[in-house]
Structure 1
Amino acid sequence: MAFKRKAIVVGAFALRLPIVAVAALRLHYLGIQIHSLNPTLHGVIAVILTEIQLQYSIISCLTCSIRPFISAVTTNYGATAINVEVYESVNGPGTKAYGAGTKAYGAGSKQRSQRSNRESYALSSASKRDKLLREATSNKMRTQTYSTGRAKNGTESIGQETVAKDSDDYAQAGPYVEAKYMGSIVDQREMSMLGRTQVLRRNFHFVSVLGFGCTLIGTWEFLLSLIQFGLTDGGTAGLIYGFIICVIGFTLVYLSISEMASMAPTSGGQYHWVSEFAPPAAQKYLSYISGYLVATGWQCSIAGTAFLSGTIIQGLVVLNDSTYVMERWHGTMIVIGVAIFCVLFNIFLAKRLPLVEALLLIIYIVGVFAIVIPLWVLAPRGDAHTVFTQFSNSGGWSTTGTAVMIGFSGTIASLAGFDCAVHMSEEIKNASETLPRAIMSGVAVNGVLGFLMVITLCFTLGDIENILATPTGYPFIQIFFNATQSYVATNIMTSIVIIVFTSAVISELATSSRQLWSFARDGGLPFSSYIAKVNHEMNIPLNAVLVSLVITILMSLINIGSNVALNAIESIIISAFMSSYMITIACVLWKRIKGEPLPARRFSLGRYGMAINIASLVFLLPLFFFSFFPLATPVTAKTMNWNSAMFGGVIVLATAYYWVWGRKQYTPPVALVKREQYEI
């Protein structure tokens, strides 16, 4: 059985894993019922859990029989079955079609066709045939004609091979990229328009990109792990209203990002867009700084998420063994282990990553219900009036409003980073259309799941002082234990969080390495020639992946000496992302204000574009400002938020490097763009 089929089977059966948690809770309460003096009353929870177990068992058993699920995760690895009837109508009788990117044999010529705009399996309906026919006849096809003489249409022979020299030729594949991984004809056209060569496999589709973004951002598990920020500054009311405000604000931000991704779907992302849209006098420098900010944010993000995974494991050990003493070097070794595992996954399972991401999306969605359902059933309920109206200012700030804004940091971290999919754009089929859909769908999915988790936590917290003082270091672990009063149930629920965090590290390594690789191929980094190399056997930027691993290990080692220093490095994540978004959106807004035409795109904000851009900047500016504030006062060296020093240091060092070496080596992406040759 092929690995793909095995993975689908494993994924379908993996949906049954949450039953283990429900079954464990059911057995626990059956034991209480058996020894109770009033078994009828104390058997209510056991009966409810029995019904949940039975109903969910039926649903999970039927999952593997659902055809839409199997079809959604089936990428077919780029193969396309083109209707022979349609193909012959374009190329003339006697030709045979074998799929996009395969060879078509005709009378005396051998042509390689790359004409499908998106996959289709059997274009039997008239509408699909008409659509393919229109696309095939309207697009100029890049051909390789094998002959012994001079061919037509501006091609000249080189030995036995003649190569087209039409000005509208599509993007060339790297020497080791198979034709089926070149993407659609639109992908090739856009790569050529952006001055890029296809060297990575395009095997991501909508579902896999959606899974990639949702699991990487991981809104609900980041809210769990960082809930202490919101409880200290803001309280339950601050958490709820802050989350709603952030979801609305980030929706506007990601609408702006999605539009730019449709204009230029490239792994460079922000620094490429700034290069195209910034005022000419500042294009090169602003693009360079944006590249450094994004690279800094993603590299620190890997270390931060791996650190959460490692220290949550330590917290679980503390819960189960009260004699265990948490040592910083223990956590560091676990962090390094998590990072190495994720790097090996990215290297040896890179070709399977799209399928894995689709399966992880299912685990991500099912996992949240495996956590909130036990909390709904077992945890004590908070008073609705208190939950929705009680603000907290435990940080000692002058006003509650200031405290609430500072407490946004945990919520921001759970929603920032949806540009991750953009950095994978050169591995996404039909990227300019798929990216905006996947980004906005991911915002919707994470927004709903995150809101569900926030409401559940705020109603089931119990004693806030008790959970904040937990010896595990993570209040959510204490919440789980207080609700279930079971080590087994708490271990299972926390393990789900660890699994989802680990999957986020896998995705972060992928997106950060692609961004690093893209910035290096434009000469933006020290040792760019080494980092920009692509391993042609695996079709991944292997050196960039290994550099990301080294950076993660070095940052995790800082924790051995001082967790304050590591926290200072990690605090830069929010400010780096927010500033990169602000610079990028400000540049496209500048073009709109000047009335200059924007590039053609398949996802457009239309007449609302300027308003959305302005609202995005109004939302981002205060978040950026308050990201430099410490959580509480009075401030000491240990409680100080060193983000301002770290952020300033990155800007100063990047600027110094730019003026000494970077400006001579860095090639701004706008210098490679050839839109005038392709846009009508």
Structure 2
Amino acid sequence: MSDKNCFTVSEKTPFEASTAINDASSDANHQSPLEKRFNVWSTSALQFSLICSALAIGTFLSTVVGVGGSPGLIYGYILAVTFDLFICYSLAEIASAYPHSSAQIHWTYVLAPRGTKRGMSFAVGILSCAGWIFACFSSTYVATGFFYALVAVYNPDFAPTNWQMYLTYAAIVVVGSCINAVAVAALPFITHMLVGIINSTTVFILVALLVKSSPKQSASFVFSTFINETGWSSDGLVFFLGLLPSIASVTLYDGACHMTDEIDKPEVHIPWVMVLSNTSSAILGLVAAIIYMFCTKNVDTLSSPIGGQPIVQLMMDAFESNALTTVGVVALIMSFVGSSFTYYTTTSRLFWSFARSNGLPFGDIFAAVNSTLKVPVNAVGLVTALCLILGLIILGSSSALTAVLGSSMVCINLSYIFPIGALLWRSGFSRNIRTRYADGPDVLSMMVVDPKTALPYFHLGKFGVVLNVASVVWVCFIMVWLNFPTVHPVQSGTMNYACVVLGSTAVVGVIFWFAARKKYDHDVNGKHVI
């Protein structure tokens, strides 16, 4: 995009500019090659299903047993999720102003200083694509584990081979990808059904735990007995080391944004999907975490849970019934397998959008949309192939497996810091809402705003800069702990290799940049929905 295109509405009044921009947005949306199959409810269902926080926090119980214990989990969750929601709300405001299927890639391009737009948006593209692929792997791997946890309920001595794990993992990926490629019309219905399954599963597990678990843990155990078995002498350090479960349980706020081309009025609907879905998930996750802790009958068994799944061990101990546990595990399988399918949906749209800018090798191929199905089938195929290749880690090193499982949060959160930081730079940290959204015609020309106010349909008002600053500081802070070893003394088997994965991602990004730097062109006005 040439620089002069940035000034197309520079001489209009804010009201005239906003009207012109909204008209342009409507035209661009109408010309999108993807079909608008989703509405605000099905998109909310997709976003809610991506993280299913109340169930996801149960998969981390082994992690927190000796890393802070119950107080570390609960207070860490409150701290982490509060700041996580600050990030979510900050991104929702930007999504309202600049709705786009490539989300933070586009936002960074729009808001970054003119000389750094291409490089910064490309870097964000690499980080977000890597983070989402790692998230696909993580969600599918967890879903795979539940299958074998169910077997272990009836045959505790059974230990699946790595090949069995991989083949089950691959089957989930292939089935989910086929649905995304050829049965995409059914996806809105599937997301509605999936929300029902997830909520029913959550209610069943929590109510059954409260009824069947006896005796319950004391309030002092849940809220004040801090456990430190890491080898680190500082309890404060251990508290921050235990933040990963909380960070991973309410995340991926940009999921709904990648569906921008498939929903009407994304500048209005997407921000509210982000805010309501993630806020409700956060609240349910806190309730679930407290109930899990009160209903933990045997802390020691959580350290080495049946089938490697602590939430299944929790049910086994509390229910003392294979039948009830089976119901719970089958419901978990349906929830996490279905959730994995929504990961493939969102990730394929991200890859498709990034490929349209030639951010990926063979961009023309992966940017193609099947004219019959109205689906980016090639992008779905790319996500499938990458998931299958990444899944081969299951056959190899356990350290590499652990590193990839934790790397999604590192890459995704780093991708969020760029557009939020760029907005702060643009606005000069101003708390005046109009100043924040009137800084330069190049920014104004790409905005979608409410004609009545000449502001984004969703905005944070004077609190915007406060939440933006808190978000940037928080991401910088958690980067330390997401890459920090949880056990002391640090050895090769206990080292946190997330930093190695991040470094490898950076190397791949540099290689791709040298290959694509002449072609990479985030042509906003030419081929993208604004």
Structure 1 counterpart of 2:309, from 464, 470, 474: 474
Q: For residue 462 of structure 2, what is the aligned residue in structure 1? A: 607
State the match for 1:647 in structure 2: 502
Per the TM alignment, residue 666 of structure 1 is displaced from its structure 2 partner at its CA by 0.3
For 1:394 and 1:541, the matched residues in 2 are separated by 48
Which structure is higher in RCO with an 8 Å CA cutoff and minimum separation 6?
2
1:230–1:404: 8 Å Cα contact kept in structure 2? no
Q: Distance in 1 between matches of 2:314 and 2:405?
A: 25
Q: Which residue of 2 aligns with 1:403?
A: 238
The one-letter code sitting in structure 2 at the alignment partner of 1:258 is: A
Deviation at 1:512? Answer: 0.2
Q: Does 1:267 align with 2:101?
A: yes
2:199 is aligned with 1:365: yes
Q: Secondary structure at the match of 1:318?
A: helix
Distance across 1 between alignment mates of 2:348 and 2:198? 23
Q: What is the aligned partner in structure 1 of residue 385 from structure 2?
A: 550
222, 236, 240: which one pairs with 2:56?
222
Q: Deviations over 1:379-405 (max 9, x none)?
A: 121100221011222111231111111
Secondary structure in structure 1 of the residue aligned to 2:375: coil
> Alignment partner of 1:226: what SS?
helix
> Residue deviations 1:20-55, cap 9 Å, x none?
xxxxxxxxxxxxxxxxxxxxxxxxxxxxxxxxxxxx
- What is the aligned partner in structure 1 of residue 420 from structure 2? 585
Task: Report the AA paired with residue 277 of structure 1.
Answer: L
CA-to-aligned-CA distance 1:549-595 (integer Å, 9 cap, x gap): 11111111221122322222232101101101111210111111175
Over alpha carbons, which structure has the higher Rg?
1
- Distance in 2 between residues matched to 1:573 and 1:458, nearest whole Å: 26
What does residue 61 of structure 1 align with? none
User: Over residues 271-323 of structure 1, what are the superposed CA-to-partner deviations in whole Å (9 max), with x where a residue is unaligned?
Assistant: 10000001112111110000010000111111111111112211221221134
**Where do residues 316-395 of structure 1 align in structure 2 (5 Å cutoff)?**
316-380=150-214, 381-395=216-230
Amino acid at match of 1:568: A
Q: Does the 8 Å CA contact 1:276/1:669 hold for their aligned counterparts?
A: no
Look up the match of 2:365. 530
Aligned 8 A contact 1:203 1:429 in 2: no
Q: Does 1:248 align with 2:82?
A: yes
Q: Aligned partners of 1:567 and 1:202: how far apart in 2?
A: 38
Higher normalized helix content (fraction of residues): 2
* Counterpart residue type for residue 647 of structure 1: L
The answer to whether the 8 Å contact 1:509/1:548 transfers is yes
For 2:516, the equivalent position in structure 1 comes to 662
Alignment gaps of 5+ in structure 1: 1-137, 140-166, 171-185
Deviations 1:470-523 (A, max 9, x none): 342122111101111111111110111111111111110000000000000100
Measured on the aligned residues, the alpha-carbon RMSD in Å equals: 2.2
Deviation at 1:197, TM superposition (A): 4.1
Match among 27, 43, 55 for residue 209 of structure 1: 43
Three-state SS of the structure 1 residue aligned to 2:515 is: helix
Equivalent pair of 1:229/1:631 in contact (CA under 8 Å): no
* Count of residue pairs brought into register by the alignment: 493
Of residues 487, 501, 508 in structure 2, which corresponds to 1:632? 487
Aligned residue in 2 for 1:291: 125
Q: What is the CA–CA distance in structure 2 between the aligned matches of 1:586 and 1:407, rounded to whole Å?
A: 26
Q: Is 1:531–1:543's contact at 8 Å kept on the other side of the alignment?
A: yes
Query: Does the alignment pair 1:419 with 2:254?
Result: yes
Query: Does the CA contact (< 8 Å) of 1:208 and 1:358 recur in 2?
Result: yes
Q: What residue is the counterpart of 2:453 in the other structure?
A: none
Q: Is 1:438 aligned to residue 261 of structure 2?
A: no
8 A contact 2:306–2:312 mirrored in 1: no
Residue 344 of structure 2 aligns to which amino acid in structure 1?
Answer: L
Counterparts of 1:643 and 1:220, CA distance in 2: 25
Q: 2: distance between equivalents of 1:673 and 1:258? A: 23
Indicate how the Cα distance of structure 1 residues 214 and 674 shifts in structure 2: closer, same or farther if over 3 A, else same. closer
Are the counterparts in 1 of residues 95 and 267 from structure 2 also a CA contact under 8 Å?
yes
CA shift at 1:193, angstroms? 6.4
CA contact (8 A) 1:269 1:423 kept: yes
Q: CA 1:508/1:267 → structure 2, altered by over 3 Å: closer, same or farther?
A: same
**CA distance 1:323–1:626, change in 2 (3 Å):** closer
- Kept after mapping to 1: 8 A contact 2:197/2:334: no
Mapped partners of 1:253, 1:667: distance in 2 = 27
Measured after TM superposition, the shift of residue 364 of structure 1 is: 1.7
1:311 aligns with 2:311: no
The answer to which of 590-599 and 526-535 deviates more is 590-599
Q: Alpha-carbon deviation of 1:616?
A: 1.3
Which residue does the alignment assign to 1:133? none
Structure 1: which amino acid aligns with 2:230?
Answer: G
1:481–1:607 distance in 2 versus 1, CA, 3 Å: same
Write the distance in 1 (CA, Å) between the matches of 2:427 and 2:527.
Answer: 20
Residue of structure 1 in register with 2:72 after alignment: 238
* Cα distance in 2, alignment partners of residues 449 and 393 from structure 1: 27
Q: TM-score, normalised by structure 2?
A: 0.89
Separation (CA, whole Å) in 1 of partners of 2:181 and 2:228: 46
| Alpha-carbon distance, 1:439 to partner | 0.9
Counterparts of 1:562-573 in structure 2, within 5 Å, are 562-573=397-408
Q: Distance in 2 between matches of 1:528 and 1:267?
A: 16
Deviation by residue 1:215-253 (Cα, 9 ceiling, x = unmatched): 111111211112222223121001111111122112211
- The C-alpha deviation readout for 1:651-670, integer Å capped at 9, x for no partner, is 13212331x22210100345
The equivalences for 1:33-182 within 5 A come to none
* Equivalent AA in structure 2 for residue 535 of structure 1: N
Q: Distance in 1 between matches of 2:528 and 2:128?
A: 25
